[in-house]
Amino acid sequence: MRGFLVRLARRLLGAVVMIWAVATFTFFLIRLIPGNPVQAEMDTLMQQGLTSEQAAARVAGMYNFYPHDPLPIQYLHYLGQLAHFDLGQSISYSGVPVAHIIASAAPYTLGLVITGIILTFIFGVIGGVFAAIYRNSWVGSSVTVLGSVLHGIPQFMVALLLAYLLATTHPIFPFGAPYDAAISPGLTWTFLSNLGLHAVLPIAAFIISGFGFWALAMKSSVVTTLGDDFILASELRGIKPSIRFRYIARNAFLPLFTYLAIAIGYTFGGAIFIEQIFDYPGLGLLQLNSINVHDYPLMQAAFLMITVAVILSNLIAEMLYTVIDPRIRTAR
């Protein structure tokens, strides 16, 4: 136990250092992005039909929020803010605290994207196992083909197709909002069922577009495990197929762990198209929009979320790995 805690502490320290390194790199990287977004914003508004006075009034004051200190001073200021868990003020939202904006986006990411990933994982893994075990019959082949084809279709296409078929031409499901704005959020049945109904299409889009990846990944993992000695041995010993199945599954599952950890970490980059088309403005969309306007504090905070999430989930996966797979424990 003590050894475990020591390892954990060392790893945590390493994680913090890594987070700091990435945050620093990102800080300077995003300030290298060229362009003058304020002028661009004004021009785009004018192209939409606003008069130049209206457009100027709309972006007035934006310049004030871009800091003018020399870069190293800005960096130290940023570190100081981080130490106090202060994420700064947004530029594109004229001074609204970044934490507030991220907090309003987080429920969509956590709710939609994580649910989507978990469900996709489940379906994909099951599919992958079938594809591997029955790979010489048409069952396995069709799952493989299905997975490859679905993987090749871009996510925005799947989302649009679902929206078009099931919400526009045949309006079975609602589309365009996470829930009816007339219903106030709360732990009521009306709200929760409404939320669920609105979530069906985006989650379905998630599953359909993500199924291929996990199915193929699981398939290759199972295929690798199938080649192992102990499987052969268990066959020879006459162990029942269902138990053998369990052996295979547990072993094949392990490497997928790593991918799952990374994938969950990446949820904070979100599924941008699904967020955009179905109006679940999570961190992915936030990131994208903040880049266009050069909203540095918001960009930094959004990327920091991903960094922390990926590194932490990797850490957890690694610690769990040593717990689950005894073969590794003895190694170090």
Partner 1 sequence: MRGFRVPAFVLAAAIIGVTYLGSTGRVDARPVAATHPYVTIGIIAQGAPINWYNTQPLQWAGLDVSYLGIVKLGVSNPLAFYPSLAKSWKTSKNGRSVTVTLQPNARWSNGKQITSNDLISSAAISFASGGAQSIFLGSVKALNSKTVVYKMAPGAKYNLFTRGVLEQVVTPKSVFGHLLPKDIWTTIKASQYAGTDPTLVQKQKDAVTTLQALYKKIQAYAPAKDVSSGPYVLKSYNSGEAILVKNKYFYAASKIHIPEVILRNYNNDNQQIWNYLLGGQVYQATSGGMSSSLVHRIAQVPNNHEYLVPSTASAQLIWNESVSPYNKLAVRQALAYLINRKLVQKVGEPVSGTYNHWPTNAVDSNTKAYLSKAQLKQLNPYNPSPKAAASLLTKAGFKQSGGHWMLPNGQPWTVTLTTVNGFNDWVEAAAEIKSELSQAGITTEVQLSPSYAQYLTDLAAGKVSFGFWIGTGTTPYGMMGRLYAVPDGYNLEGGKLLYFPPTASGKGNWLGFPQSVNVKGYGKVAVGPLTNKLNVLTDKKKIRTIMQTLMITTNQKLPELTLWNYEQVGFVNDKYFTDYPTKNVKLMWTCSGYYPPIGCWQELGYVRPR
Partner 2 sequence: MNTIVSEEPQALSTYPSAPRRRPSAWMVAWDVLRRRPTGILGLVILLFFIGMATVGPLFYPAELPTDPLHTFAAPSAAHPLGTDFEGTDVLALIVTGSRYVLLSAFLAGFFTALFGTVSGLISGYYLGVPDSIITKLADFVLTIPSFPLLVVLSTVWKFGSPLSMGLVLGIIGWGALARAIRSQVLTLRERTFVEAARGLGFSSVHIIVKEIFPNITSYVAMKFLLAVTGAIYAAVALFFLGVLPFAANNWGVMLQFAFTQAGAMYTTQSLLYLLAPLASILLVTLGVVLFLDALDEMLNPRLRKG
Nearest distance in Å: CB 141, partner 2: 5
Q: Which of 12, 21, 64, 66 binds partner 1 (CB under 8 A)?
A: 64
Q: Which of 10, 58, 77, 329 binds partner 1 (CB under 8 A)?
A: 58
| DSSP structure string for 37-92 | HHHHHHHHHHHTT--HHHHHHHHTTHHHHS--S-HHHHHHHHHHHHHTT---B-TT
Distance of CA 109 to the CA centre of its chain: 7
Interaction between residue 299 and partner 1 (CB under 8 A) = no
Residue 14 interacting entry, from partner 1, partner 2, none, C-beta within 5 to 8 Å by type: partner 2
Q: In 3-state terms, what secondary structure has residue 328? A: helix
Alpha-carbon separation of residue 84 from 73, 78, 79, 81, 332 (angstroms): 17, 10, 9, 5, 37
| Contacts with 73 (C-beta within 8 Å, 6 or more apart), sequence order | none
Q: Which of 26, 89, 251, 287 binds partner 1 (CB under 8 A)?
A: 89
Which class for 175: exposed (0-12), middle (13-18), buried (19 or more C-beta within 10 A)? Answer: middle
Between residue 92 and residue 131, which ones bind partner 1 under the rule CB under 8 A?
92-97, 100-101, 104-105, 108, 119, 122-123, 126, 129
Between residue 150 and residue 209, which ones bind partner 1 under the rule CB under 8 A?
160, 163-164, 167-169, 171-185, 189-190, 192-194, 196-197, 200
Q: Which of 106, 146 has the CB closer to partner 2?
A: 146
Q: Tell me how many degrees the CA angle 113-275-298 measures, rounded to the nearest 5.
A: 90
Residue 290 interacting entry, from partner 2, partner 1, none, C-beta within 5 to 8 Å by type: none
Question: Given the rule CB under 8 A, which residues bind partner 2?
Answer: 14, 18, 21-22, 25-26, 29-30, 32-34, 135-136, 141, 144-145, 147-149, 151-154, 156-157, 160-161, 164, 213, 216-217, 219-221, 223-224, 226-227, 229, 232, 254-255, 257-259, 262, 265, 287-288, 291, 299, 303, 306-307, 310-311, 314, 321, 325, 327-328, 330-332
Interaction between residue 140 and partner 1 (CB under 8 A) = no
Q: Which of 104, 141 has the CB closer to partner 1?
A: 104
Task: Determine contact, residues 97/89, Cβ cutoff 8 Å.
Answer: yes
Nearest distance in Å: CB 154, partner 1: 13
Task: Determine contact, residues 226/132, Cβ cutoff 8 Å.
Answer: yes
- Tokens standing for residue 142: 């069709």
